[in-house]
Structure 1
């Protein structure tokens, strides 16, 4: 009788599933791994109760929330719970990981300080760098502490680093003085976009004017995404074409600030804040263009998804060129003003409509 091959036990470790680009990538990893060969367990510090959490559970993937475990035994006001998270979180994480005995731990974002404390000595370590190294390991104390942990994990534990594109790979190799960083591009599920439906059929279904310009943006509300400039660009488009709408998909700490700006400009009827969504393929299909004026990106999942959906995009030239996998991506400098961006966006929309492409 043939001996059954032992499954590889892999822990994916991330802060929580807030439905950003890194979180989407981790979720996709977990779903796509061959379950006959790999047992995947996700460990999160916090529970965001997002659709991703439920999607993983529906697929039979175990998700462990460290802070939820602490809260179940630490009774009291929120301040007590937060103190317990800070003081006891690492200890509980270490206990959970050692009990699980993983073959591999794959960490994401700024969690190297936790891994350095909690990972067993015989466990293979991987870490994905999801954005520009100068941003993720900036000069703040916490980020520098995480970088020092990452460096020790690389030099003493042989942790393998993963970059999203070639330029990032070179930056990571230089920063850590290594030459073995792996390039692993972001991807997504093509089938979701093939089955999403046709643009104008979807617009008719949702009673959206065929002649309306639908400008879209997918991403968390954070400074790096440059929503402030996006609103200025949209306002310039709206001044030229009154049947224009801006759809903003995502959530984040700066959402209220952007909502305040939208209201102050008098375009609150034209700007739709969709929040966190699970029907992004359908929403993308109804758009005319995706505009992303980000100061920096890793390899944008949203940009890859828009191309699969057949939607053209206008993006800042600071975004990695590897994000462009088609002729649908148009790069433009952030040094150009809002009217230049608006003019270019309208040219792209009108060209696509004229030739029905």
Structure 2
């Protein structure tokens, strides 16, 4: 039995959490004892699924709000205590930047022989004290890589972001797998979604899923909706998710009189139904590692428009396009050009499987790697 300590800075309901839980559910855990370690636990959405797999979450700090730098400093003692008590064979660090690489040193000093750093991001957003955070990232990136034994990344950009060029040949691409069958287009789910939100069968519905924050750039979508309406394009825009930008988005929708065009539908638990219910998927993010929602949307046969700031490794089907986010004009033109082009949506799942993004392939690879 191998003991695996899986670190995630904050346990929420985002892409890393979905990635880990979905892979574990598809893995043979017979010879793995997994514990998840997090500075703070903000969501219980995965609790039941983890309980069924006998996977425990260890929370290092009490509830509170602070920066990642502060959380890292405050959680050092608790992290070291967990390392000493658990005696892990492997520590798997799922991280966004070089600051969190400091946990590798703590694990190394307490005798962990194998330390995996897994990069899930490609940039720092336009946040307060950005220059300071970039400096901390760079210092951490240089200072702590000597404690890493395995270099994992979800994309080429994520690898370049976290690891120096010295380790370029050592970086292992770990694809963000999904349950491809689960996200196959379903006509019945489409009808249920459209009925729930009173959408006409032939209405053009565009959608987005993600945390409502600066990185995901949903403000861009409000600008886009305004311009689509000004071009007399009939549409509905469904934006799913919660986050710190919610109030600003609501105000923008109200100020621009877009209530009949744009709907904020909050957190959704049935994402396959969401994808089946819409016609186009929009992801104007400022940066990403390799967004799982983009893979899910393509699997559902959606025509997808992605920000050109995202890794091109996200492209799985030919119809997907990468567009600049300096102006909504590119997006208006693309939607106008392709909105009503029909395709055989259920067949798109094959492309996902062919490119090894199915959870069966990614979980097998992770299982094999952890047992080495």
Same fold (TM over 0.5): yes
Q: Which residue of 2 aligns with 1:268?
A: 259
- Pairing of 1:248-263 with structure 2 (within 5 A): 248-263=239-254
After superposition, what is the alpha-carbon deviation per residue over 1:241-270, rounded to whole angstroms, capped at 9, x for unaligned?
575221111222222222211111111343
2:11 equivalent to 1:20: no
Name the SS of the counterpart of 1:306 in structure 2: helix
- Listed as ranges, the gaps of 5+ residues in structure 1 are 1-6, 72-77
**Separation in 1 of the partners of 2:6 and 2:266?**
26
Given that 2:88 and 2:112 are in contact with CA atoms closer than 8 Å, whether structure 1 keeps it comes out as no
Unaligned runs of 5+ in 2: 348-372
Q: How does 1:1-357 map to 2 (within 5 A)?
A: 7-68=1-62, 89-109=75-95, 110=97, 111-119=100-108, 120-133=110-123, 140-142=131-133, 144-155=135-146, 157-169=147-159, 174-175=164-165, 177-194=167-184, 197-198=187-188, 200-203=190-193, 205-206=195-196, 207-240=198-231, 243-335=234-326, 337-352=327-342
Structure 2 distance, partners of 1:50, 1:269, is 33
What's the CA shift string for 1:81-124, capped at 9, x where partnerless? xxx97775321121122211111111122422334335523331
Contact 1:298/1:320 (<8 A) preserved: yes
TM-score (norm 1): 0.82
Q: Shift of residue 41 of structure 1?
A: 1.0
For residue 212 of structure 2, give the secondary structure of its aligned residue in structure 1.
Answer: coil
Shift of residue 53 of structure 1? Answer: 3.5
Matches of 2:47 and 2:131, distance apart in 1? 30
Query: Does structure 2 retain, via aligned residues, the 8 Å contact 1:12–1:40?
Result: yes
Note the alpha carbon deviations across 1:261-314, whole angstroms, 9 max, x for none: 111111134322222221111111101101112222221111100011111111
Q: Deviations over 1:187-209 (max 9, x none)?
A: 11113213855464334543431
Let me know the Cα RMSD of the aligned residues.
3.2
Quote the residue 1:3 is aligned against: none
1:233 deviates by: 0.9
Higher RCO (C-alpha 8 Å, min separation 6): 2
- Over 3 Å counting, the alpha-carbon distance change for 1:134 and 1:174 in structure 2 is farther
The 1:309/1:332 distance shift into structure 2, 3 A limit, reads: same
CA distance in 2, matches of 1:355, 1:32: 25
Partners of 1:87 and 1:297 in 2: how far apart? 26
Structure 1 or 2, whichever has the larger Rg, is 1
What is residue 362 of structure 2 aligned with on the other side?
Answer: none
Alignment length, in residue pairs?
Answer: 337
Cα distance in 1, alignment partners of residues 167 and 185 from structure 2: 45
| TM-score in terms of structure 2 length | 0.79
Structure 1 partner of 2:365: none
8 A Cα contact 1:41 1:61, kept in partner: yes
Distance 1:195 1:8, change over 3 A: farther
